[in-house]
Homo-oligomer: A and B are copies of this chain.
Amino acid sequence: MTDDVTGLGAFFAPRSIAVIGASNDPGRIGGRPVDFCKAAGFDGPLYPVNPTRDEVQGLKAFPDVESIPGPVDLAVLAVPSARVPETLEACGRKGVRAVVVFSAGFSEVGAEGAAAQADMLEIAQRHGIRMLGPNCLGFYSAASGACGTFTTGLEGGMPARGKIGLITQSGAYGTHLLSMAKARRLGVAGWVSTGNEADVSVAECLEYMVESDEVGAIGLYMEGVNRVETLIRALARARELRKPVTIMKVGSSEVGARAVQSHTASLAGSDASFQAVIKQFGAVRAETTEEMFDVLYAATTGPLPRGDRLGILTVSGGAGVLMADAAEKHGLSVPPMPEASVGKLLERNPFASPRNPVDITAHALNDFDLIPEYLAEMMRAGDYDCYTAFFTSWTASPVLGPRLRKVLLETLAGQGKPFALIGLFDDEQAGAYEREGVLTFADPSRAVAALATMARVAQGFDRVATGALPDVGAPGIAVRSMGEAEAKARLAAAGVPVLPEGVAATADEAAEMAAEMGFPVVLKIVSPQIAHKTEVGGVALNLADADAVRAEAARMLAEIPAKVPGAEIEGVLVSPMAGEGVELIVGSQLDPVMGPMVMVGLGGVLAEVLKDVALARAPVTAEAAEGMLARLKGAAILDGVRGRPGVDRRAVAEVIARVSVLAAANAEGVESIEINPLLASAEGAVALDALILPRGEEA
């Protein structure tokens, strides 16, 4: 394909292939790779290895890999699992660069299999061989015709050639994907099933396909994430090359069921982290297989939109409204045509409703020129970023269909915007549009959804990181539990605003401190063992004078040790009563899979009950953190509700960015940082309480 910067070229574009365990029967596992390579037109030497036959499927066979006369780039191992190690050794001696291992019975069946897999990997690595599998269905490359696979998805013919790359961990579901792609006439550039990923992972295959000129858009099916750093690097590179990546990752329901731990942990389960990371790096999550294929279809058929403004052309008012609804639901805007154009179009056809949706009405049947004229005016004066057009069954009519196609394609020529045509189509009718870059759909909602996803993809590509990470001073954090006072001091050193405060050991000392700060003040119990202070009576707000402070501090110091036996009480924290504002939670959490994640949510029920939080992989810039705030469902609260002033979003974003930098720098030692609440107002943001926990500890 292209320069083999990823080292996987020996799989996808090998100069020669040996099939070890080759069968003369093209229906058997060892026979299929030979049969498929021939059918796909692999034009390098293809060497069947079979000690009992001179010829396999019309090709000269060899008793073992070392008897093959020429060099072997790729060996496909269709042998029982017990014979894999000796076969790998032989491949190593032969100088094979890459192997595909179909055999099952390795890490997927338990500890013994995992040990066998580790041994196998050791052999491969000792010989410098890259390995796909074990327990995989292999791969298919349209450009080279290399088919190191026994998937039934290639039975009955290769898929149409095209720009779609498919990467899957599951063999069986991967076969289903390949079969569905064929049934939908989608053009496929390559397909790979990674199985146990002893060596080659989904992330590396993604990296290869991102760099390949043959591939225009990539669909991933994943069950777990190995090599998260490679995955992120590949996604970042895809964004740079503006190559759409859509990911279907299953297992969210299991993850969702995991036991709830501290606030942050309960809010940032790893499916949410995964979701946040792929969004952050410009990929899109597909929830269903059809959605994934719609994205791949749109991405490899037409251009990407440059914005989110949708122009809707229709001959049915109802369909126009339906598409406007769908646009709002999926986040596309439907701005009206300029007034001058509306007037002009109404003059041309008084029955039309030409605002946007632009409804020509069925009058277009009597006056076909209305179609190109209206469309041209939409493109000229509306200048939308993408278009849908509804012509119902006209598209399939023997008389109207070709006329419609002619005027649409002529009018669209060279305009470079995505255009989805909704109607009824047979394969030939659809193909005639698709070859010209026009998408075809029967369901208008699905057309709008696909365009909206494309707009989101383009937005993700445009969202390059701006600004710099904040300077937090020395980033290291001591690896120990830090309660409120110590945690706030540490955060303050990193530039997070906190209120002046002090820890008093006695009630009298508390009263004295309060008098110095000025009333009213707040008292809070200080103990590393007590995370939720309110629940043990460890918070007293709005204390107006020294007597009140003394009484409350005395009560806390007396009562709480009895309520929480074993808690080390370090004293009471005295701080000025904060003003009015909006409470937020800002925190970080080490995700076991995705690494350090930073989180923000609105305080109270929004974060806790409704799980309205925004996540990103740490570190993030303040600019990116502002984007996180905008994604909160309750973001309007930050702008002020019921007469309250809005908060300084930038100040909140600065805090998020600083926490994220600390979290990323301390991913080895720190499990979580939590500011709860962060009080935000028009004047800024201040951390009122905080907690830092070392790795492995939970609040």
Point out residues on A near B: beta carbons under 8 Å. Answer: 109, 152-153, 155, 168-173, 175-176, 179-180, 183, 221, 223, 248, 250-254, 256, 287-290, 315-319, 321-322, 324-329, 334, 351, 362, 390, 392-393, 396-397, 424, 442-446, 532, 534-535, 602, 605-606, 608-610, 612, 633-634, 636-637, 641-643
Report the bound CA distance from A535 to B328 in whole Å: 33
Report whether B605 and A641 are in contact in the complex, using a CB–CB cutoff of 8 Å. yes
Report whether A534 and B325 are in contact in the complex, using a CB–CB cutoff of 8 Å. no
Report whether A392 and B179 are in contact in the complex, using a CB–CB cutoff of 8 Å. yes
Known: A316-B170, A324-B253. A535 touches B634 (CB 8 A): no
Report whether A393 and B321 are in contact in the complex, using a CB–CB cutoff of 8 Å. no
Q: In the complex, what residue of chain B is closest to A351 when comparing beta carbons? A: B109
Q: A322 contacts which chain B residues (CB < 8 A)?
A: 173, 248, 250
Q: In the complex, what residue of chain B is closest to A168 when comparing beta carbons? A: B318
In the assembled complex, how far is the CB of residue A612 from the closest CB belonging to chain B, in whole angstroms?
A: 8
Known: A170-B316, A172-B362, A605-B634. A321 touches B254 (CB 8 A): yes
Q: A443 contacts which chain B residues (CB < 8 A)?
A: 180, 288-290
Q: In the complex, what residue of chain B is closest to A182 when comparing beta carbons? A: B424
Report whether A183 and B442 are in contact in the complex, using a CB–CB cutoff of 8 Å. yes
Q: A179 contacts which chain B residues (CB < 8 A)?
A: 392-393, 396, 424
Report whether B252 and A392 are in contact in the complex, using a CB–CB cutoff of 8 Å. no
Q: In the complex, what residue of chain B is closest to A223 when comparing beta carbons? A: B318
Report whether A424 and B609 are in contact in the complex, using a CB–CB cutoff of 8 Å. no
Report whether A173 and B319 are in contact in the complex, using a CB–CB cutoff of 8 Å. yes
Query: Which of A250, A252, A634 has the most chain B CB atoms closer than 10 A to its own CB?
Result: A250
Q: In the complex, what residue of chain B is closest to A316 when comparing beta carbons? A: B172
Report whether B324 and A392 are in contact in the complex, using a CB–CB cutoff of 8 Å. no
Report the bound CA distance from A316 to B172 in whole Å: 5
Query: How many copies of this kind of chain does the complex include?
Result: 2
Known: A288-B443, A290-B445, A641-B605. A318 touches B250 (CB 8 A): yes
In the assembled complex, how far is the CB of residue A332 from the closest CB belonging to chain B, in whole angstroms?
A: 11
Q: A173 contacts which chain B residues (CB < 8 A)?
A: 316, 318-319, 322, 392
In the assembled complex, how far is the CB of residue A432 from the closest CB belonging to chain B, in whole angstroms?
A: 18
10 shortest interchain CB distances as A-B pairs:
A172-B316, A170-B318, A288-B445, A253-B328, A173-B318, A250-B321, A176-B392, A250-B322, A253-B325, A179-B393
Q: In the complex, what residue of chain B is closest to A156 when comparing beta carbons? A: B396
Report whether A445 and B289 are in contact in the complex, using a CB–CB cutoff of 8 Å. yes
Report the bound CA distance from A321 to B682 in whole Å: 47
Q: A446 contacts which chain B residues (CB < 8 A)?
A: 288, 290
In the assembled complex, how far is the CB of residue A418 from the closest CB belonging to chain B, in whole angstroms?
A: 20
Report the bound CA distance from A413 to B3 in whole Å: 58
Q: In the complex, what residue of chain B is closest to A322 when comparing beta carbons? A: B250
Report the bound CA distance from A169 to B362 in whole Å: 16
11 A-B pairs, CB-CB below 8 angstroms?
A: A152-B393, A155-B397, A168-B318, A170-B319, A172-B316, A173-B316, A173-B319, A183-B424, A250-B318, A288-B445, A290-B446
Q: In the complex, what residue of chain B is closest to A257 when comparing beta carbons? A: B328
Q: In the complex, what residue of chain B is closest to A425 when comparing beta carbons? A: B183
Q: A318 contacts which chain B residues (CB < 8 A)?
A: 168-170, 172-173, 221, 223, 250
Known: A179-B393, A316-B172. A321 touches B251 (CB 8 A): yes
Q: In the complex, what residue of chain B is closest to A362 when comparing beta carbons? A: B172
Report the bound CA distance from A7 to B467 in whole Å: 71
Report whether A287 and B319 are in contact in the complex, using a CB–CB cutoff of 8 Å. no
Q: A170 contacts which chain B residues (CB < 8 A)?
A: 316-319
Q: In the complex, what residue of chain B is closest to A611 when comparing beta carbons? A: B633
Report the bound CA distance from A251 to B175 in whole Å: 41
Report whether A643 and B319 are in contact in the complex, using a CB–CB cutoff of 8 Å. no
Known: A175-B393, A223-B321. A605 touches B608 (CB 8 A): no
In the assembled complex, how far is the CB of residue A271 from the closest CB belonging to chain B, in whole angstroms?
A: 9
Report the bound CA distance from A352 to B507 in whole Å: 65
Report the bound CA distance from A256 to B329 in whole Å: 11
Query: Which of A168, A253, A324, A327 has the most chain B CB atoms closer than 10 A to its own CB?
Result: A253
Interface residue from B221, B362, B642 paired with A535 (Cβ < 8 Å): B642
Report the bound CA distance from A318 to B534 in whole Å: 44
Report whether A176 and B252 are in contact in the complex, using a CB–CB cutoff of 8 Å. no
Q: In the complex, what residue of chain B is closest to A448 when comparing beta carbons? A: B288
Report whether A445 and B605 are in contact in the complex, using a CB–CB cutoff of 8 Å. no
Report whether A324 and B176 are in contact in the complex, using a CB–CB cutoff of 8 Å. no
Q: A390 contacts which chain B residues (CB < 8 A)?
A: 176
Report the bound CA distance from A323 to B318 in whole Å: 34
In the assembled complex, how far is the CB of residue A452 from the closest CB belonging to chain B, in whole angstroms?
A: 13
Known: A152-B397, A290-B443, A446-B288. A324 touches B254 (CB 8 A): yes
Q: A532 contacts which chain B residues (CB < 8 A)?
A: 642
Report the bound CA distance from A636 to B172 in whole Å: 40
Interface residue from B248, B362, B445 paired with A287 (Cβ < 8 Å): B445
Q: A183 contacts which chain B residues (CB < 8 A)?
A: 424, 442
Report whether B325 and A251 are in contact in the complex, using a CB–CB cutoff of 8 Å. yes
Q: A321 contacts which chain B residues (CB < 8 A)?
A: 223, 250-251, 253-254
Known: A170-B316, A316-B170, A325-B252. A153 touches B609 (CB 8 A): no
Report whether A424 and B180 are in contact in the complex, using a CB–CB cutoff of 8 Å. yes
Q: In the complex, what residue of chain B is closest to A178 when comparing beta carbons? A: B393
In the assembled complex, how far is the CB of residue A117 from the closest CB belonging to chain B, in whole angstroms?
A: 17
Report the bound CA distance from A319 to B609 in whole Å: 31
Report the bound CA distance from A397 to B152 in whole Å: 9
Q: In the complex, what residue of chain B is closest to A536 when comparing beta carbons? A: B643
Extra contacts, 10 of them, besides A152-B397, A170-B319, A250-B321 (Cβ < 8 A), are A172-B319, A176-B393, A180-B442, A250-B322, A254-B321, A534-B642, A534-B643, A608-B641, A609-B636, A610-B612
Q: A153 contacts which chain B residues (CB < 8 A)?
A: 393
Q: A634 contacts which chain B residues (CB < 8 A)?
A: 605, 609-610
Q: A176 contacts which chain B residues (CB < 8 A)?
A: 316, 319, 390, 392-393, 424
Q: A317 contacts which chain B residues (CB < 8 A)?
A: 170, 172, 223
Q: A445 contacts which chain B residues (CB < 8 A)?
A: 287-290
Q: A319 contacts which chain B residues (CB < 8 A)?
A: 170, 172-173, 176
Report whether A289 and B172 are in contact in the complex, using a CB–CB cutoff of 8 Å. no
Report the bound CA distance from A288 to B441 in whole Å: 13
Q: A329 contacts which chain B residues (CB < 8 A)?
A: 253, 287
Interface residue from B168, B172, B351, B362 paired with A392 (Cβ < 8 Å): B172
